[in-house]
């Protein structure tokens, strides 16, 4: 924990535009990052924390994800000077996963219904509980384009598709060098779906290429060309 920091002072609030962009913009970028990673490289299925450094491509924001179906402790090293975005609990759906959802409205209704069924959502940063609310933390991600890789985390048909998202998020401001602890837990679908984060976040001065990872040049170009207007 960094002495003297009040937790609220470390967080962007919902009315702010981190790095000049809306929360919808950033959560959509998070989904495009998360969904474009092959299953073998997904940090959501990794227990060491090492996969969090792959596929990070934004110069201002570092994305973290929860682990699926288990709670593991891991150390994550990130460069100083970056905001940090992560979900407490979230959900997404796409045409590739469920072709019966034929319209954007169908998909939005699907994700909204799951988020409305939240059983539990909580977060703790540096030993201090963070109040998670509808007004300050819930963000919907409007229809966005992305491409599922082969052998993706959801077993969906590979290739370009459209998705939407909804969830409760925490957005941390750039942190000074040192160590922070992040713990979150959320469940929905009457407790059938549970996700959690238990991370020791190590902020340090390290060189970082925003296109670090295993993307081919074509994939990198495709991902970085996905422009969002909101």
User: Tens digits of per-residue pLDDT, 59-105?
Assistant: 999 999 887 656 668 889 999 999 999 999 999 999 999 999 989 99
Sort 41 into a burial class: Cβ within 10 Å, 0-12 / 13-18 / 19+.
middle
DSSP label at residue 47: S
Return the pLDDT at 74: 86
| Predicted confidence (pLDDT) per residue in 122-179, tens digit | 999 999 999 999 999 999 999 999 999 999 999 999 999 999 999 999 999 998 899 9
Rg of the chain over Cα atoms, rounded to whole angstroms, equals 17
Distance CA 176, CA 164 (A): 33
pTM summary value = 0.85
% of residues, the chain, pLDDT over 90: 63
Return the pLDDT at 205: 85
Return the pLDDT at 146: 97
Q: Bigger pLDDT: 122 or 48?
A: 122
Return the pLDDT at 69: 58
């Amino acid at each position: 924990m960094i002495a003297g920091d009040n937790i609220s002072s470390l967080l962007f609030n919902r009315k702010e535009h981190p790095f000049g962009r809306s929360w919808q913009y950033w959560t959509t970028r998070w989904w495009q990052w998360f969904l474009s990673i092959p299953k073998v490289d997904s940090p959501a299925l990794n227990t060491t924390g090492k996969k969090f450094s792959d596929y990070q491509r934004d110069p201002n924001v570092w994305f973290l994800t929860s682990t699926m179906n288990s709670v593991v402790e891991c150390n994550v090293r990130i460069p100083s000077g970056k905001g940090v975005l992560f979900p407490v609990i979230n959900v997404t759906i796409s045409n590739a996963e469920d072709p019966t959802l034929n319209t954007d409205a169908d998909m939005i209704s699907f994700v909204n219904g799951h988020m409305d069924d939240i059983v539990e959502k909580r977060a703790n940063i540096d030993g201090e509980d963070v109040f998670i609310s509808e007004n300050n933390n819930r963000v919907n991600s409007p229809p966005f384009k992305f491409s599922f890789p082969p052998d993706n985390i959801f077993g969906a048909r590979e290739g370009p598709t459209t998705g939407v998202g909804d969830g409760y998020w925490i957005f941390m401001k750039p942190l000074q060098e040192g160590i922070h602890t992040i713990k979150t837990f959320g469940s929905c679908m009457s407790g059938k779906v549970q996700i959690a984060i238990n991370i020791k976040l190590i902020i340090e001065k390290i060189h970082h290429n925003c296109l670090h990872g295993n993307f081919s040049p074509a994939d990198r170009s495709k991902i970085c060309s996905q422009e969002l207007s909101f």
